[in-house]
Structure 1
């Protein structure tokens, strides 16, 4: 199904001008829509690339594979099993170091394949939040066609729906490292514990959630409109037991619910 929209036509033109591209593909709303557009603009001259690392849950990798198959775009997986030392230290600009490594690997892969450009799925709304990773993209000369076409998240969701993409209403997602407060070291074990706890919440039927890891405390955030699902004694006990089985000593509930980038609040105050 073809999308009919002036901004979408602009997006196709931006992508087509590159002739051959590798799309950094996480399986999320933005990168899925970008893969769809790249495939429509360039056909088999567009390639989707997913970096498989401890930062990305297995469920997201499985989703990326399904979406790529539906779109029909060639899909490559790059294995990055180790966490870079600068990323593991978890400074306030962690995202910069992570993006530099991740997109550097994609750029090297694209060069080996003879592809002219690497595309990422940043959208217009990303400019309004704390995003140190955008500087890494700039340094690596990664292109952001969605931002160039001035597409917002809401517009991308609408066009994804029109295109028949299953990701159109997918909840917002960020890498697992975003669950760990800045300054606290990141390890494979800690990320695995967070991933398991979040899978437990998914099994209980929640759609938008985060498990923020504050040492031994799991601070659970769910979408504000999903909070009432918690207020049942049996459900509370079951969720607490499930989260603690993942390795946490305590399970706490964030009263205001899920907030995108909630661990950036100390940075915004500065």
Structure 2
């Protein structure tokens, strides 16, 4: 049994950040990048956080980023990438994340102007299908949380101890992850998904996804919240609203929400 504690790993992280300065942090406002930023503050190193806004990112998340910057107080810059600049990512093949990361981090690297760029991948990110990791490696982007062997649970626990508001924030993923692979992504599709998820959020759900399979919306609800959606009047309300948004069919996945559920078929093909 390992005797290395999360505090030991935090110390490793702090020392590695001192070696990397000055650097730019790819800041999404999620659990990992917020913890990484707070660790950089604790290390008292020279850094800047950069957020990239694309049509794949809900506006709600950009608002959350602005609130975090104001509350935690660090140097921050917002970059924007227009829809038509996302290139091959819009084809939505199994390599979508690779192409998207290439565009986003190439832009961050250009802004960094020679400074090291770091991001918040952690130990748990090595288990799912993540072609974006390949893009980060090709571009020379560093992943200090991963190098310190910090898991998601450890990051959440340390974030709670540091009193970060994101310690229990639901996992983030871009809106493109809701669209079935090999279905080209459109502005309208992203807006439809964003509005559909905002509807569920407005009705009290916190951990969920609305997966878009052409004209069918597949709703995934976290295990702890599934009983709430069994209210018949609520189901009727959600179904009617989603159909108004343009979905022809609205279904409830009988399995609980699972991060990366769209990747199962791809990973199964790789195992064959």
Conserved 8 A contact 1:211-1:219: yes
User: Counterpart of 1:208?
Assistant: 207
Q: Distance in 2 between matches of 1:246 and 1:27?
A: 28
1:133 equivalent in structure 2:
132
Tell me what 2:77 maps to. Answer: 76
Say whether the 8 Å CA contact 1:65–1:75 is kept in structure 2.
Answer: no
Give the CA deviation at 1:38.
Answer: 1.6
Alignment-derived partner of residue 52 in structure 2: 51
- Paired with 2:32 and 2:181, the residues of 1 have a C-alpha distance of 25
Q: Number of aligned pairs?
A: 263
Specify the alignment match of 1:177 in structure 2: 176
Which residue of the partner structure matches residue 11 of structure 1? 13
**Is 1:87 the counterpart of 2:86 in the alignment?**
no
TM-score by length of 2: 0.94
1:111-190 map, 5 Å:
111=113, 116-190=115-189
CA displacement at 1:245 relative to structure 2:
2.7
CA distance in 1, matches of 2:171, 2:17: 24
Runs of 5+ in structure 2 lacking a partner? 1-5
Residues 168-214 of structure 1: CA distance to partner in whole angstroms, max 9, x if unpaired? 00111111100011100011111111011000000000000101001
Task: State the distance in 2 between where 1:230 and 1:19 align.
Answer: 48
The answer for the alignment partner of 1:40 in structure 2 is 42
1:26-84 per-residue CA deviation (whole Å, 9 max, x = no partner) reads 111111111111222245x2111110110110111111111122221111110112242
1:26 is matched with which residue: 11, 25, 28? 28
User: 1:36 & 1:167 partners in 2: Cα distance?
Assistant: 11
The answer for the alignment partner of 1:103 in structure 2 is 105
Match of 1:235 in 2: 234
Runs of at least 4 residues off by over 4 Å: none
SS at match of 1:218: strand
Alpha-carbon RMSD across the aligned residues, in angstroms, is 1.2
When the two structures are superposed, what TM-score results if normalisation uses the length of structure 1?
0.94
Query: Do the aligned partners of 1:22 and 1:49 also contact (CA within 8 Å) in 2?
Result: yes
Q: Structure 1: 5+ residue runs without aligned partners?
A: none
SS in 2 for 1:219: strand
Q: What's the secondary structure of 1:77's corresponding residue?
A: strand
CA apart distance, 1:244: 2.1
Which residue is equivalent to 2:195?
196
Task: Output the CA distance in 2 between the equivalents of 1:92 and 1:146.
Answer: 26
- Distance in structure 2 (CA, Å) of the matches to 1:119 and 1:206: 32
1:232-258 per-residue CA deviation (whole Å, 9 max, x = no partner) reads 111111111222232222211111021
